[in-house]
Structure 1
Amino acid sequence: MAEHVYLHHETVLTVPFFDVDAMEMAWHGNYVKYFEIARCALLDHIRHNYNDMRETGYTWPIVRLEIKYLRPARFGQQLRVACAVAEYESCLKIRYTIRDAADGTLLTRGFTMQAAVHTATGELQLQTPAAWQRAVRACAGFRGTGAHGQS
């Protein structure tokens, strides 16, 4: 069964020279950075970014990361990094696809999972903070499942 997508956002970036090896392919560790760039753009779109998270008293460490490399990204290539929010109430789970921006060829896919941690106590939260959930539900393009009255 396919996961529900609550929100979707895309970011376009170009593979810089300092991200590639001698064969002009992006080093595998840089894909985590590409995920982070797209995730920050998504959080800005939601209007509840890392600064807002900190101000509400929570940090959001990555607790799980998975990447599947299918084809290499190369120097100068434009990439379209798509983020799909698959969970936002118990954690923040985002699925990513990285495609060639010109022809849509799938290069990489993966996901990250972040948990809310109360900054003052260091306690891991079993549910994400109410301010975060409100921001996600208020974001343009939000697609609820009906579980909490969303359509």
Structure 2
Amino acid sequence: MKNNLHYSATVELTPSFHDTDAMGVVWHGNYLKFFEKAREALFQKFHYGYQAMFESGYAWPIVDTRVKFIATTTAEQKLLITAQLEEYEHRIKIKYLIKDALSGQKTTTGYTIQVAVSTDTKEMSFVTPNVLLTQFGLLK
């Protein structure tokens, strides 16, 4: 699965002034919001957005995340944010790469881990539900 661009999506995002802190750089907490935009694009690519997830009987809460800051970003700086499915057995692990859109410089990396939770029983599934595997074309 590693480096399989079929299972990735990239969005362009330009942080606004309100995304910055007192030092004029993008506030660290906003990077999770940026990751979310790319993750939404990835799931939409496979027609399994949040509404489809809910309708399939599963929620996919994030249970772990990591952000590594490499270079600062500022308001009005065009960014390319890529989300790539890295693991899908028992959980979903999505890795992220943020680059400056003009220079291509890497600014941020990270990942999120999500698990399937039944919307009916609220119980966590210890196997990846077939609906996700089917939507992503991974069912063997």
- TM-score after normalising by structure 2: 0.93
1:116-127 alignment to 2 at 5 Å?
116-127=116-127
Aligned residues: 138
Paired residues of 1:116 and 1:129 also in contact (CA < 8 A): yes
Partner of residue 114, structure 1? 114
| Cα distance between partner residues in 2 of 1:89 and 1:11 | 25
| Cα distance between partner residues in 2 of 1:40 and 1:133 | 17
Tell me whether 1:4 sits opposite 2:2 in the alignment. Answer: yes
Alignment root-mean-square deviation, CA: 1.5
1:76-87 alignment to 2 at 5 Å?
76-87=76-87
Deviations 1:78-136 (A, max 9, x none): 00001110012321110001000001101000000100001111111111211111111
Residue 23 of structure 1 and its aligned partner are, at CA, apart by 2.3
Name structure 1 gaps, 5 residues minimum. 138-143
| Cα distance between partner residues in 1 of 2:127 and 2:39 | 20
Partner of residue 129, structure 2? 129
| Cα distance between partner residues in 1 of 2:23 and 2:66 | 24
Partner of residue 59, structure 2? 59
Equivalent position amino acid for 1:105 in 2: Q
Divergent runs of 4+, >6 A = none
Greater mean alpha carbon deviation, residues 113-122 or residues 4-13: 4-13
Paired residues of 2:15 and 2:76 also in contact (CA < 8 A): yes
Equivalent position amino acid for 1:135 in 2: Q
Deviations 1:41-89 (A, max 9, x none): 1111111111101001111100110110111110100000011100123
Paired residues of 1:5 and 1:85 also in contact (CA < 8 A): no
Greater mean alpha carbon deviation, residues 3-12 or residues 118-127: 3-12
Tell me whether 1:18 sits opposite 2:22 in the alignment. Answer: no
Structure 2 counterpart SS, 1:104 = coil
Partner of residue 75, structure 2? 75
- TM-score after normalising by structure 1: 0.86
Residue 22 of structure 1 and its aligned partner are, at CA, apart by 2.5
| Cα distance between partner residues in 1 of 2:3 and 2:96 | 12
Paired residues of 2:60 and 2:116 also in contact (CA < 8 A): yes
